[in-house]
Amino acid sequence: MYESKNDEDEQCYVCVNCATPSTSLYQQYGEDVIRLTQCKKCGNLVDKYIEYDNVLVIIDIILQYIGAYRHLLVNTKCEQYYRIGVIFVMCDAYYKWIERRSKCGFEKIYDLEWKFYECLVQSIVELFLYIAVVAVFASQTERICRFRRIIEASVAGSYGNVFIVLSIVWQLHTTFSYRALTEFFNLISHIQVQRTIFSSYPVARNIATVVAASVFSRLGGFLLNHLLF
């Protein structure tokens, strides 16, 4: 899914424990001899996750460990964000389509197909609105230097949409408690992502950014749905 960046990359790494910048993740003394770098500030390994299997990293991300987010978003090189983003957007669009179909009860196949495209457009607009608000809250310097990182991180933070689709498979999407839980999970995921890419900002500012972006995104999707669709 992804691989650790090597020492030739221009961007520095960060300690997954305290977010202190580091120039390397490991030192290679021979063909088969590697020693993980220790953080100069906290004394722990800069990135213990480089020895972990991808499945274990994903589990820690689901458990909302900030260190796993730092490993994925800062210390590793992933070229699949846009492909992953398509999957997450499709999951969100599918959920919206299921909700709209249950309320309206379309019978003709072309109506069902057209409504899915409408839901897909709504999901894309909501994602772009979210990214735009996060970029606005960032300082001008970080907005310019990290705009691509903001896009990638916002996409990565949307992985909770997969659980929403699973709720449809398990017939739980109509249960209010499960829907509230998945929404809360998505919110926490975005907050952790925000804390990762803007580690110098206070936690309160990161939380406020995510809440404002989520509200603005949903409001934009709501207006789009009712005014155009």
Helices 81-104/109-137 angle, 10° precision:
130
β-partners of residue 95 are none
Find the mean pLDDT for residues 23-35: 82
Tell whether 7 and 113 lie within a shared domain: no
Q: Last residue of a domain, which of 25, 55, 77? A: 77
Q: Are residues 216 and 123 in the same domain?
A: yes
Tokens representing 30? 């021979």
Of the pLDDT bands very low, low, confident and very high (cuts 50, 70, 90), residue 10 is very low
Residues 35 and 106 in one domain: no
8 vs 216, more confident: 216
Q: What is the mean pLDDT of residues 124-143?
A: 85
Q: Give the Cα separation of 61 and 224 in Å (integer).
A: 32
Indicate whether 210 pLDDT > 90. yes
Mean pLDDT for 43-71 is 93
Q: Are residues 98 and 63 in the same domain?
A: no
pLDDT of residue 55: 93
The pLDDT of residue 105 is 59
Which residues touch 104 (CB under 8 Å, ≥6 apart)?
115
- pLDDT, position 8: 42
* Per-residue confidence band for 106, with pLDDT thresholds at 50, 70 and 90: low
Give the total number of structural domains in the chain. Answer: 2
Domain edge (last residue) among 47, 77, 107:
77
Give the integer Cα–Cα distance in Å for 21 and 114.
Answer: 49
Determine the structural domain holding residue 132 and report its residue range. Answer: 81-227
Record the pTM.
0.85
State percent of the chain over pLDDT 90: 41
Please report how many Cα atoms fall inside a 13 Å half-sphere around the Cα of residue 169, on the Cβ side. 6
Whether residue 49 is found in the same domain as residue 8: yes
The mean pLDDT of 93-118, rounded to a whole number, is: 77
